[in-house]
Structure 1
């Protein structure tokens, strides 16, 4: 039994993006594109738009860093991780603090 989850998700993303997407829509679409190996430049544009609309979210900067790293834009990925780290410290989220510290260390080599 095969469920057409991907095609349904892609149709939903396309429909949402043709309307008036919110920051969360851009964020979710960017993550889906990164996780499924799709157009990373589009994912980068979408995560940037999400952050522009709703800044201050450490989890958004974390996803931006992962997308930038996947595009081999390591300096920008480190900068996004540093922003995520700062915001995660302020929010008291130790999981994101560790994730960002590890990414910054690995990507700085």
Structure 2
């Protein structure tokens, strides 16, 4: 798969992540949002995936982030815990043991559950 096609598919997925947080309302509902995602090549040539999680509310929030991906035909899930104070953001990086030059298909999906 060409890099341009790969980037286009990931950009579309990123737009869906951004819209997902806009559908929440109410003080007792979940407040954590996936603000943005990105992927690319590390300095040593491996594939990385970054996810930025935001808490736009006035209360503390914690949750679990699941990065489900299809990478060159292989499915994987990576899990990260997040604890965010009011009006804060954090970014975490997942590095895969695959050379970026060998990536033919990468489809990440981020699921977020609040504790």
Q: TM-score, normalised by structure 1?
A: 0.27
Structure with bigger helix share is 1
Q: TM-score, normalised by structure 2?
A: 0.26
Structure with bigger strand share is 2
Greater relative CO (CA pairs within 8 A, separation 6+): 2
